[in-house]
Structure 1
Amino acid sequence: MGEAVMFLLPDDHQKSINTAPEYVNGHDSSWFEEVIDDDLKWSFALNSVLHKGISEYQDIVLLDTKRFGKALVIDGKMQSAESDEFIYHECLIHPPLLSHPKPKTAFIMGGGEGSTAREALKHKSIEKVVMCDIDQEVVAFCREHLTANKEAFCNKKLDLVINDAKVELEERKEKFDIIVGDLADPVEGGPCYQLYTKSFYQQILKPKLNTHGIFVTQAGPAGVFTHQEVFSSIYNTIKQVFKYVVAYTAHVPSFADEWGWVMASDTPFCIEQEKMDKKIQETINGELLFLDGASFCSSTVLNKMVSSSLKNETHVYTEDNARFIHGQGVGKKSNL
């Protein structure tokens, strides 16, 4: 891995794992450092490193952090943390499911830790959730270590598939009410940046949506200084394929930034505050911790700088003209 993603340990011992993150000298406690940019790092004090290794596709680390609990790091980038992952996953999964008249089936691209499936399975109308992740190792150790998702992994409505999401969608004859992109951020050399391209959305994904179907994807950092890395481009690319597109953001503390999602359909969305609150009460088992009608509606109101960038963005994701966030994948690319 080309990035200086560091683990600072207290025992003055320095070692490295192939091209994976290095472990170097620290003082009072162990630390994980994520390199956000050439001049910016984000550090976490650690209790321990639960798992580390390089799979066929990605560099994978599972940490036990002091501030955020268990944290999944892929290719040097924080994917989710135990204490605040509900923000990311509620924002990803519930807006499309609440906007759909009666969602019965969902296809999750990625989502190996199980949290997105967990949230989808809270909806009473859901009959089947297909979770398709390319990396068996990610799924295996998340299943073992992330206890909050054990029930979801055992749910009979969950169809867990280890495969390339593009191949899986192409080969399946069925269509879905909801398709979710819970993919790693697009980094150069990573396994999934091609799943953010116009050709994939138009030729593979959209034909697999039922009438009134909705697509939603995580879309990377969306802060004042970061939204033009990939967020604005993903939004503009999806606009080329779908008639109705909504971008929304929320602050995720463990990401140290505002985060973005994009929801799209050829059918208008129902995102009125009162109607959404009513559907939450009627259609979801259990209580949401972060999302309600008011918070979702407010999340779609972007600040002037970000909204102007989205309006004026011209870049369209293609296989030969992609944008990447700062970072570098270490595994081999998927067979797209």
Structure 2
Amino acid sequence: MGEAIMFPISLNYHDLNGAAPRNIKRPDDSWFEEVIDDDLKWSFALNSVLHRGISEYQDIVLLDTKRFGKALVIDGKMQSAESDEFIYHECLIHPALLSHPCPKTVFIMGGGEGSTAREALKHKSIEKVTMCDIDEEVVAFCREHLTANKEAFCNKLLELVINDAKIELEERKERFDIIVGDLADPVEGGPCYQLYTKSFYQHILKPKLNPAGIFVTQAGPAGVFTHQEVFSSIYNTIKQVFKYVVAYTTHVPSFADEWGWVMASDTPFCMEEEKMDKKIQETINGELLYLDGASFHSLTVLNKMVSSSLKNETHVYTEDNARFIHGHGVGKKESV
């Protein structure tokens, strides 16, 4: 999503680092405003700005919104909203785990808010979930303020690691059944665009998957007007590395767009509706709110424009030839 936030002076919030608030304006009402592109903005009304901090890597804000409840914003980009985050996180986690014959180990790249780990831990077969996030302040921020994930953070099956996921995977001897990319979108000056590159997928990530292992990643905006920003390129890059690749999308209201994910393996996926529904009943503790066999199948049926773009995409992510969505990370801002 975009880059700018507008806060009225009257709102009661504090900066975790004690710094003076930035980008303060005086609109008629209290609004969050996100610049999606140079000619497009998305905004919604606030009750208040609850907390704000600036880490070494990212600008972090927790909003209390009128429409979507608590919302986590990083580098000016909507990451997760209380009312609909289950849509994003169910789509990210459950298709991959349900497609695997018996997932026991999961490695999450990013995922600092804890929701991805929460969903993975619902699977009865899970023996260990490793969540690796580069930003300790984001993790601490979310542990304190996002109450929905307190149980996940306390679960004895969760291993929390603060490190660069690329370095962590390189140094680890173990392999995993599932590797998940719950990373921020690739923005110029952001901390993670190199984790979308062909060399990373091929030389670091794939060797850390067990036989029949599955990789799944969030892949950015996937709407009719936005899918060529990064979604089609991420899909094409992953196709260079894995034999079987599935792209799927759905609308996430707080993102104001269709969102995309890509799932990949060297083993064929079993995604029959009835089998998936049976596995949901047998292998998951609790109830999924959004996904079942039929709905997941429908998410993989892309409209003609998007499917054509994915089929014809030629761009491959490299360290020297990356695509970025609109906006800038802390690193870019500091260098200007």
**What residue number does 1:148 align with?**
148
**What residue number does 2:57 align with?**
57
Distance between the aligned counterparts of 1:223 and 1:19, measured in 2?
37
- 1:34-63 alpha-carbon deviations (Å, 9 max, x no partner): 110001111121111111121000111111
**What residue number does 2:317 align with?**
317
Q: Does 56-65 or 106-115 show the bigger shift?
A: 56-65
CA contact (8 A) 1:56 1:332 kept: no
Q: CA deviation at 1:20?
A: 7.8
* Residue 184 of structure 1 pairs with residue 151 of structure 2: no
Q: How does the TM-score come out when normalised to structure 1?
A: 0.94
Distance between the aligned counterparts of 2:288 and 2:161, measured in 1?
27
Structure 1 residue runs of 4 or more that deviate by more than 6 Å after TM superposition:
17-20
* Residue 95 of structure 1 pairs with residue 115 of structure 2: no
Distance between the aligned counterparts of 1:290 and 1:217, measured in 2?
18
- 1:12-43 alpha-carbon deviations (Å, 9 max, x no partner): xxxxx98985120022x311101100011111
CA contact (8 A) 1:5 1:21 kept: no
Residue identity matched to 2:189: G
**What residue number does 1:14 align with?**
none
Q: CA deviation at 1:123?
A: 0.1
Q: CA deviation at 1:8?
A: 3.8
Quickly say closer, same or farther: Cα 1:156–1:68, change in 2 above 3 A.
Answer: same
Matched residue of 1:144: which SS? helix
Matched residue of 1:62: which SS? strand
CA contact (8 A) 2:188 2:332 kept: no
Gaps of 5+ in 2: 12-17
CA contact (8 A) 1:227 1:306 kept: yes
Q: CA deviation at 1:95?
A: 0.3
Report the RMSD for the aligned CA atoms in angstroms: 1.8
Matched residue of 2:152: which SS? helix
Quickly say closer, same or farther: Cα 1:150–1:71, change in 2 above 3 A.
Answer: same
Gaps of 5+ in 1: 12-16
Matched residue of 1:189: which SS? coil
Distance between the aligned counterparts of 1:122 and 1:73, measured in 2?
26
Residue identity matched to 1:25: R
Matched residue of 2:138: which SS? helix
Residue identity matched to 2:280: I
**What residue number does 2:24 align with?**
23
Distance between the aligned counterparts of 1:131 and 1:34, measured in 2?
28
Q: CA deviation at 1:4?
A: 3.6
Matched residue of 1:206: which SS? helix
Residue identity matched to 1:244: Y
Q: CA deviation at 1:213?
A: 0.1
Residue identity matched to 2:23: E
Q: How does the TM-score come out when normalised to structure 2?
A: 0.94
Q: CA deviation at 1:331?
A: 3.7
Residue identity matched to 1:122: K
Residue identity matched to 1:23: I
**1:80-159 superposed matches below 5 A:** 80-159=80-159
Identity rate, percent: 89
CA contact (8 A) 2:3 2:36 kept: no
CA contact (8 A) 1:169 1:205 kept: yes
Distance between the aligned counterparts of 2:19 and 2:6, measured in 1?
14
